[in-house]
Amino acid sequence: MSVAHVLGYPRIGAKRELKFALEKYWRGELSENDLQAVAAALRKSHWQAQKDAGLDYVTVGDFSFYDQVLDTTQWLGALPERCIDQGSSALDNYFRAARGAAPTGKATTASELTKWFDTNYHYLVPELHADQSFHLQAEQLLGQINEALAQGHKVKPVILGPISYLYLAKTTDNSDKLALLGKLIPVYRQLLQAIEQTGCKWIQIDEPALVFELDNRWQEAFRITYKHLQDYQIRILLATYFDRVDHHLPLLQSVAVDGLHVDAVRGADTVQQIIDAWPKERVLSLGVIDGRNIWRNDLRASLQVLKTAQQKFNGRLWVSASSSLQHVPVDLTHEQKLPSEQRQWLAFARQKLDEIVTLSRALAEGVEAVESQLSESDQVIASRRHSPQTHRAAVRARHAAVNENDAKRHLPYNKRAALQRAALELPAFPTTTIGSFPQTPEIRALRAGWKKGQISEQEYRQGIRAQIADHIQRQEALGLDVLVHGEAERNDMVEYFGEQLEGFLFTENGWVQSYGSRCVKPPVIFGDVERKASITVDWAVYAQSLTEKPVKGMLTGPVTILCWSFNRDDLSRQAQCEQIALALRDEVLDLEKAGITIIQIDEPAIREGLPLRKGEQGAYLDWAVNAFKLATSGVADTTQIHTHMCYSEFNEIIDSIAALDADVITIETSRSHMELLQAFRDFAYPNEIGPGVYDIHSPVVPTTEQIEVLLEKALQHIPQERLWVNPDCGLKTRAWPETERALQAMVQAAKRLRAKH
């Protein structure tokens, strides 16, 4: 007997039912009761799926209207005070913390949203302070447990553990967040007691913070916490995920939890060590199925690992996915358009349930009982391994022949800059934009019509050309110095390139929650990446033909394409990234050959790819920087390479940003009021910088004076001959009237600066 379970299941629904219900509720088009009914139906179907697959428990507590960390804040009675409006419902208080506004009650500022470990999921950062109090308000969680019990399920609730909760929180008064532990533990104890009374035998407590190298204080806090949580009949499965935890083995052994879950995918190399060290009278749960990726499992290989553990743990060995399945799409059965060869290689959340059950049955009943599933897995693994698309000889040979010089510009920046200055003849404080212009309903309709085959290729191309002409005309009228074609042909900056490169797959419904009701549909890198034909050249050349001013070529960088896709698990991330870089290198060279003198390669995601463990970050940054340089270094020194970054903190990786050696970087800075530039100055960042002078996320139009003030501030950090003037990011989410007024103010501010300096 071996227990099959999951740490969590996607909550959004196979057709994003939760997203649509939430957005209707927020717009006031759905009542709270109806929203609750949609949520209950989703939970019911997710639990039923777990039961039908044959799992031994259904996991309860993984459902959330917005975010599991915010749910924790709510049951701890710790929502920020400004979100609580006595006149409105508890749900709306919760939504105010999530997004500022809710159908009832007074709007306020939302809590800060930030990345959940190294995933593309974002959580709401708990805002605590020194005299924070906590009160158990777990009606929702307890209600869901009873709901599942009433449906006849065997229930294993899941909660976020107190150590990880505090680790992920911030204090608004700079006080020590760990000092709040003493107040937190009693509320967790009350919750355990309440859950025990529902009759549940096990609870899963998530402590993903254990993947970090915690200092002594945090380790001690962990030890104390779990001593206080062990007084109950209910047994605790302590769940860690997203990386190995072998560095905390003594700590883990020192607490009397009844079971431990480890990530046996990311932590594959350390599983044996865990098996050896973990006491045999406790439960060990091995997450052998990848909870972060969409590949079908090599069941026979996983079984091998499990069998070693079974010798020691017998029935106390549990089988699971490495992490919650919330990070993968819901159900492959909704994919009807994938090529059948590649489709059989994939497993989404629903399919992963079957894999988990197959493995646990193999342990309990013997391999014979699941022989057909195992041989199907063998066949699928072999098909992928031997596919000519996963091993393209030409790509492999080219990649193997790459040498150091391929990733180096010929001359150093200062010499290049002189050549570029002479060639481009730009004014001081050159003005530009980041690439995209408003994606109007007209543009969307044009693309959609073409994709659905309702309009011809020729009509489509004419339509896009008309947009480009319009964009060029508007930019000339505004008096911008370096123009862009406007990206009207792109739905998404990664999907657009993936669709035109070999080696990528696209799903119809492969949605994964990013935050709240926001979902992303990442492409899948399945094979060796190759560029068959030029991608952007025609559009860029057309745009350039309409103006005397330089038009920037516009590409998405290799690291960003990698980070925003599902990656292969049969080739290193580095090699995948370099293959993409080589494909882009050809595109860069084709643009140059076609007369484009400035080429921008966006890398907004470079910071996101950073591994969790400090020890691994340097190696990542090295190959990420190298991939960018591989994509960009084929050009002549007169060609100006730009890059663009946004979304995250760049201070800690400033040396890597400098190592990209882009001639110009445009970077999001306005929300931090140019504070980021301090880091660039301290580092003596050598190349040109365009700090974003206004926030494109807001519809508010900046004034010339405001922009001028920011630019003067920027001049304290950047010498004037290296300062560019541009917005924070692309303008595709904005409308034209505000865009034109903002750019007008920006151009005006640059002119004032030219007159003054």
- Active site positions, annotated: 697
Lookup: tokens for 530: 């190759």
Q: Work out whether 604 is an interface residue with ligand GLN (CB under 6 A).
A: yes
Answer yes or no: is 16 a known binding residue.
yes
List b or e across 410-448, with b for residues whose CB sees 16 or more CB atoms inside 10 angstroms. Answer: eeebeebbeebeeebebeebbbbbbbbbbbeeebeebbe
Query: If DSSP codes are grouped into helix, strand and coil, which group holds residue 44?
Result: helix
Name which of residues 551 to 610 contact Zn ion (CB under 5 A).
604
Query: What string marks each residue from 454 to 473 as x (binds ligand GLN by CB under 6 A) or -?
Result: --------------------
Residue 436 interacting entry, from ligand GLN, Zn ion, none, C-beta within 5 to 8 Å by type: ligand GLN
Residue 740 burial (C-beta neighbours within 10 Å; 0-12, 13-18, 19+): middle
Minimum distance from CB of 514 to Zn ion (Å)? 16
615: left (phi over 0), alpha (psi -120 to 50) or beta: alpha
Shorter beta-carbon distance to ligand GLN: residue 203 or 645: 645
Minimum distance from CB of 297 to Zn ion (Å)? 36
Answer yes or no: is 487 a known binding residue.
yes
Across-strand partners of 431?
725
Q: Work out whether 434 is an interface residue with ligand GLN (CB under 6 A).
A: yes
Q: Work out whether 493 is an interface residue with ligand GLN (CB under 6 A).
A: yes
Q: How many chain residues touch Zn ion (CB under 5 A)?
A: 3
* Helical ranges in 54-138 per DSSP H: 68-75, 90-99
Q: Work out whether 205 is an interface residue with ligand GLN (CB under 6 A).
A: no
Shorter beta-carbon distance to ligand GLN: residue 284 or 554: 554
Minimum distance from CB of 553 to ligand GLN (Å)? 11
Q: Work out whether 436 is an interface residue with ligand GLN (CB under 6 A).
A: yes
Q: Using the rule CB under 6 A, which residue among 730, 743, 746, 748 binds ligand GLN?
A: 730
Residue 10 interacting entry, from ligand GLN, Zn ion, none, C-beta within 5 to 8 Å by type: none
Strands (E), 241-331: 259-263, 283-289, 317-321
Minimum distance from CB of 692 to Zn ion (Å)? 8
Q: Work out whether 732 is an interface residue with ligand GLN (CB under 6 A).
A: yes
Q: Work out whether 537 is an interface residue with Zn ion (CB under 5 A).
A: no
Name which of residues 635 to 664 contact ligand GLN (CB under 6 A).
644, 646
Check if the beta carbon of residue 435 is closer than 8 Å to that of residue 600: yes
CA dihedral 455, 458, 462, 467 (to 10 degrees): 60
Q: Work out whether 729 is an interface residue with Zn ion (CB under 5 A).
A: yes
CA 86 from centroid of its chain's CA atoms: 35
Query: What string marks each residue from 43 to 82 as x (binds ligand GLN by CB under 6 A) or -?
Result: ----------------------------------------
Half-sphere exposure of 34 (CA within 13 A, CB side): 12
Query: If DSSP codes are grouped into helix, strand and coil, which group holds residue 499?
Result: helix
Shorter beta-carbon distance to Zn ion: residue 637 or 668: 668
Residue 493 interacting entry, from Zn ion, ligand GLN, none, C-beta within 5 to 8 Å by type: ligand GLN
Shorter beta-carbon distance to Zn ion: residue 487 or 663: 487
Q: Using the rule CB under 5 A, which residue among 646, 653, 707, 718 binds Zn ion?
A: 646
Q: Work out whether 370 is an interface residue with ligand GLN (CB under 6 A).
A: no
Residue 655 burial (C-beta neighbours within 10 Å; 0-12, 13-18, 19+): exposed
Single-letter residue type at 433: T
Shorter beta-carbon distance to ligand GLN: residue 96 or 732: 732
Minimum distance from CB of 651 to Zn ion (Å)? 17
Q: Choose the binding region for Zn ion from 243-251, 258-266, 402-410, 722-730 (rule: CB under 5 A).
A: 722-730
Shorter beta-carbon distance to ligand GLN: residue 93 or 120: 120
Lookup: tokens for 671: 């929300």
| Phi/psi at 300 (5° precision) | -65, -40
Q: Work out whether 244 is an interface residue with ligand GLN (CB under 6 A).
A: no
Minimum distance from CB of 506 to Zn ion (Å)? 23
Across-strand partners of 684?
none
Answer yes or no: is 408 a known binding residue.
no
Q: Work out whether 554 is an interface residue with ligand GLN (CB under 6 A).
A: yes
Query: What string marks each residue from 82 to 121 as x (binds ligand GLN by CB under 6 A) or -?
Result: ----------------------------------------
CA–CA dist 108, 99 (Å, integer): 9
Check if the beta carbon of residue 584 is closer than 8 Å to that of residue 628: no
Residue 163 interacting entry, from Zn ion, ligand GLN, none, C-beta within 5 to 8 Å by type: none
CA 633 from centroid of its chain's CA atoms: 28
Q: Work out whether 161 is an interface residue with ligand GLN (CB under 6 A).
A: no
Q: Choose the binding region for ligand GLN from 71-79, 589-597, 628-636, 729-737 (rule: CB under 6 A).
A: 729-737
Answer yes or no: is 434 a known binding residue.
yes
> What DSSP string runs through 198-244?
TT-SEEEEE-GGGGS---HHHHHHHHHHHHHT-SSSSEEEEE--SS-
Q: Work out whether 559 is an interface residue with ligand GLN (CB under 6 A).
A: no
Q: Work out whether 435 is an interface residue with ligand GLN (CB under 6 A).
A: yes
Residue 138 interacting entry, from Zn ion, ligand GLN, none, C-beta within 5 to 8 Å by type: none
Describe the crossing of helices 371-386 and 349-365 by its angle, rounded to 10 degrees.
Answer: 130
Shorter beta-carbon distance to ligand GLN: residue 204 or 436: 436
Check if the beta carbon of residue 241 is closer than 8 Å to that of residue 215: no
CA–CA dist 382, 377 (Å, integer): 8
Answer yes or no: is 120 a known binding residue.
yes
100: left (phi over 0), alpha (psi -120 to 50) or beta: left
Q: Work out whether 185 is an interface residue with Zn ion (CB under 5 A).
A: no
Check if the beta carbon of residue 170 is closer than 8 Å to that of residue 123: no
Minimum distance from CB of 462 to ligand GLN (Å)? 23
Q: Work out whether 602 is an interface residue with ligand GLN (CB under 6 A).
A: yes
Alpha carbon distances (Å) from 552 to 246, 437, 649, 709? 49, 14, 26, 27
**CB-based contacts of 215: which residues, under 8 Å, 6+ apart?**
none
Minimum distance from CB of 650 to ligand GLN (Å)? 13
CA–CA dist 548, 475 (Å, integer): 12
Minimum distance from CB of 248 to Zn ion (Å)? 37
Query: If DSSP codes are grouped into helix, strand and coil, which group holds residue 259?
Result: strand
Q: Using the rule CB under 6 A, which residue among 166, 195, 363, 729 binds ligand GLN?
A: 729
Check if the beta carbon of residue 222 is closer than 8 Å to that of residue 254: no
CA–CA dist 319, 54 (Å, integer): 12
- Binding site membership: which residues? 16-19, 115, 120, 434-436, 487, 518-519, 564, 602, 608, 644, 646, 668, 729
Show binding-site residues for 5-methyltetrahydropteroyltri-L-glutamate.
16-19, 115, 120, 518-519, 564, 608
Annotated binding site for Zn(2+): 644, 646, 668, 729
Q: Which residues form the interface with ligand GLN (CB under 6 A)?
A: 434-436, 487, 493, 554, 602, 604, 644, 646, 729-730, 732
Q: List interacting residues with Zn ion (CB under 5 A).
A: 604, 646, 729
